[in-house]
Amino acid sequence: MSDDIVHPTLDDPLLIGAAEGLGGSTGSHQRDAWGWWTPLRVILVVLGGSLVVGYLQKLPCRDVSRWKDQFAFSHVCYTDVVASWSAYGLDKGQVPLFDFFVPYPPLTAAVMEVAAVLARAFPSDASASTYFDITVVLLAVFAIVAVVTTALLASRRRPWDALMVALSPVLILQAFTNWDLVALALLGLAMVAWSRSAPAWAGVWLGLATATKFWPLLMLLVLVMLCWRAGRLRDWLVIAGATVAAWAAVSVPVMLRSPDGFLEFWRVNISRGPDWDSLWLALGDATGWDSRGEVSNMRVGAVLLVLTLAVAVLVLKAPRRPRVPQVMFVLLALFLVFGKVFSPQDALWLTPLAVLARPRWRTFLVWQSAEVVLTINRMLLLGGLENFDKGLPRGWWYVTVGIRDITLLVLVGFVVREMLRPRADVVRAGGEDDPAGGVLDGAPDRERRDAGRHRESVLT
């Protein structure tokens, strides 16, 4: 296995062509002369620039007094952070989940409360702006963790892959829209712990991630598939137990003190119908289907169950056991595309996983560009709900959703192809198996190990 660092301008077809147009790829002597500027340090500087651009993009909406006449939509700068200041009673000192019910799990509510307490410590007529600035700083820290963990999971040969996350258009546009970076960072820590063969610590971080947003729990579903194939269910039981324990340590005290506040997240998500960005809304408009929450839950649940079983069959039948990020990306992408809600900021969840599953710039940027267009068109759509002459027609909106879903599913298709044809997987090209796999990395499958034991028993 080669330990040479893979340089994007010598490895990725899109960047090779771009480098040739700018005078050629970086030479080996020039690369060796970088000295202190390691790939990770360069990536973090780039990330800093992206976060500054992301902050400037939201800057017009920082002043809540300007939120009139659909200002946040027309300027494409809407952020839940600023909206939550007054909407959730943070300006009055109310504590999320206890004094005011919010549709978020406990750790997200805790981040909101920490920022609110700090903001109220600075008396100002622009407290919402102060609250936003403090939240931006907190989220920037989580963004750094997310990018660093991506670099660590990409193996020693491919640290430059994390540059795709640092330069991600979705990261720039959505970093400060909601609190998604918190869960993303905690999931990254869980995956790093798993990759270091520390399933108990992985479970601790995963439990905290699940107490922030619910979607990271899919990691357990992915790992049970892979651990079953590898015969490593004992390790899965360790991470599953630690996940439940960490989640309970955060959630049970909240549940006991404010059961209604704790259940608000579940109540909202169970009762809601398909969101604007869901293909189910378009199908409902086209067919007249009942889109109420209860009916949608059954319909969507059945589809997601079938898709989960299909992914499980793929994992078990692939010629070589797929890598952890590949399966996580495919499963999460399918859950988002065919679920009730796929908000623009949810694309942040997929971004590091997409990079780890298939570190190729062209398909990645095509999908990310579709997400940017969808975000802009969503603002135009919502801004026109009160003034139809200025809004985006609903038909064009559905076209936008369809294009976003297709570009993402194409990327899923490429990942599935590489799961079925491991030789096409650039991560494995250097002789590695699964850098993020931990106990699964290089482990034989259950059938191969059982066959080996059978041969030994026959020989003895």
Exposure string of 153-181, with b = 16+ CB inside 10 Å and e = fewer, is bbbebbbbbbbbbbbbbbbbbbbbbbbbb
CB-count exposure of residue 324 (10 Å: 0-12, 13-18, 19+) = buried
CB 107 within 8 A of CB 265: no
What are the C-alpha distances in Å from 416 to residues 211, 350, 370, 413? Answer: 30, 15, 21, 5
Sequence-distant (6+) residues with CB within 8 A of 274 are 280, 281, 284, 291, 296, 340, 341
What distance in Å separates the CA atoms of residue 120 and residue 316, rounded to the nearest whole number?
54
At residue 134, the pLDDT reads: 97
What pTM was estimated for this model as a whole? 0.92
How do the domains of the chain map onto residue ranges? 8-24+36-432
Q: What is the pLDDT of residues 29-45, one digit of tens each?
A: 445 546 778 899 999 99
Q: How many CA atoms lie within 13 A of 2 on its CB side?
A: 9
Kindly state the DSSP code that residue 160 receives in the 8-state scheme: G
Q: In terms of Cα–Cα distance, which of 163, 180, 154 is closest to 44?
A: 163
pLDDT < 50 stretches in the chain = 28-30, 33, 454-460
At residue 311, the pLDDT reads: 98
CA 440 to chain centroid, in Å, comes to 22
At residue 216, the pLDDT reads: 97
At residue 178, the pLDDT reads: 97
At residue 22, the pLDDT reads: 52
Q: What is the pLDDT of residues 309-319, one digit of tens each?
A: 999 999 999 99
At residue 390, the pLDDT reads: 66
At residue 456, the pLDDT reads: 44
